[in-house]
Amino acid sequence: MKTQVGIIGGGPSGLLLSQLLHVQGIDTVVLEKHSRDYVLGRIRAGVLEHGFADLMREANCGARMDAEGEIHDGFYIAHDGVRDRIDLKGLTGGNSVIVYGQTELTRDLYDAREKMGGAVIHHAQNVQPHDITSDKPYLTYTKDGEAHRIDCDYIIGADGFHGVSRKSIPQDKIREFERVYPFGWLGVLSRTKPVSPELIYAKHERGFALCSLRSQTLSRYYIQVPLSDSVEDWSDDDFWAELKRRLPADVSSQLETGPSIEKSIAPLRSFVAEPMRYGNMFLAGDAAHIVPPTGARGLNSAASDIYYLYHAMLDHYKNGDDRGLEGYSQKALARVWKGQRFSWGMTTLLHRFPGNSDFDNKLQQTDLDYLLSSESAMKSLAENYVGLPF
Ligand code: RFL
Ligand code: PHB
């Protein structure tokens, strides 16, 4: 088989790029290791920047997001038994975010790919990029015991943090920067009315908590837990009781509880691999960088990679101009690091760090006091949360 752009990974990054390029008449093949249902079963992001939403619209995939997604003009920070609102719209001169689940967005992308007859190959095993530094790179994989080969102009590594593409780059050609946090997030999805119409990020001495949602009948809650905990350690009742302890009384008294329909623990990590290009293979999304979810940046950072790659590919195929491809890594990384800085900052501000001294805790408290008392500081927070320009 032959294609122009061979994409490893059928998560949001790979599917979005494939869809955008196909709309412009550029041929792609997506190789995904798992089934569609498996990919859709992963409950992840919930908050989208407008830049991301614009890309979905450009890919002809924005209709359901625009109809069912919720525009959020602000969120709350809860601390010391009270709540302070971050007025995103007021602080950014009119910007906001969209609450629309990654599951729904990925479903829309799969449906659009199917409608256009796009090639998305599921259950692709042992995917391997070859001759990456030549001008004739190719991919091999097996499916149902049969070996396949795809010749391409370019390879896109959009196969997430554990994928094969980053690992195919020789170690002396890539540098990795990493911070692992000493805790994770236990997340619960429940068919209950959300406790608040806007998200609540809660700092508490027992640990961080987050009240989020997918719709007015579907809630998503998280609590910070030690890395040694496993999902089996947490019954639904234990989860709700602990969440209530970490929220202000006027919030916890309103919390509607119910059976969990999904429960999982995600470790928190900051990670960047540089550069994001090796030969004719380009990394995008979680394959190249991971953030702790506190600032809701992960999927949004993936979207900016896709934006830069999409435009670079258009310039290459339509105008014979390779400057976008040459500059991709540098341009993408500049924005990626700003997302890293923000996510690290939000995580540091709101979590309980086991090794912290009393002095560290006082400074953390003072950081929050300062933030909530300074319009300039809140403006900076809001500007980053709604997403820096691409
Ligand atoms: P994905 O989603 O991991 O998709 C990669 C795909 O590649 C496949 N794959 C392979 N395919 C073929 N061959 C191989 N060898 C392969 N290896 C892997 C995988 O099966 C998978 O389908 O990466 P992508 O597309 O770059 O998307 C990134 C996002 O998923 C991620 O950044 C966000 O979910 C992060 N995130 C959030 N981001 C936000 O912007 N806003 C949020 O509110 C937000 N909340 C979150 C989050 C992530 C979380 N977790 C669980 C880490 C909340 C949580 C709890
Ligand atoms: C979510 O709804 O899953 C979510 C929202 C905001 C975050 C992280 C996760 O910062």
Distances (CA, A) of 6 to 24, 191, 236: 16, 39, 43
Q: Enumerate domains of the chain plus CATH numbers.
A: 5-72+96-178+269-348 (3.50.50.60), 182-268+354-386 (3.30.9.10)
- CB atoms near residue 233 (< 10 Å): 12
- Centre of ligand 1 from the C-alpha of residue 293, in Å: 11
Pocket residue to mutate for ligand 1, from 20, 99, 159, 306, most atoms within 8 A of Cβ: 159
- Centre of ligand 1 from the C-alpha of residue 165, in Å: 15
Ligand positioned closest to the Cα atom of 185: 1
Residue 213 is inside which H or E element, if any?
Answer: strand 209-215
Low-confidence ranges of the chain (pLDDT < 50): none
Tell me how far apart the alpha carbons of residues 6 and 280 are, in angstroms, rounded to a whole number: 11
pLDDT tens by residue, 93-118: 999 999 999 999 999 999 999 999 99
* Confidence (pLDDT) at 374: 98
* Confidence (pLDDT) at 43: 85
- Starting at the edge strand that comes first in sequence, how are the strands of the sheet with 200-202 ordered? 82-86, 75-79, 200-202, 209-215, 218-226, 175-190, 260-274, 289-290
* Confidence (pLDDT) at 270: 98
* Nearest CA-CA partner of 304 in 6, 19, 12, 91: 12
pTM to 2 decimal places: 0.97
pLDDT tens by residue, 299-313: 999 999 999 999 999
Contact 260, 188 (CB under 8 A): yes
* Confidence (pLDDT) at 167: 98
- Centre of ligand 1 from the C-alpha of residue 12, in Å: 7
Report DSSP letters for 36-89, one per residue: HHHHHT-----EE-HHHHHHHHHTT--HHHHHH-EEE--EEEEETTEEEEE-HH
Residue 202 is inside which H or E element, if any?
Answer: strand 200-202
Contact 174, 288 (CB under 8 A): no
pLDDT tens by residue, 65-103: 999 999 999 999 999 999 999 999 999 999 999 999 999
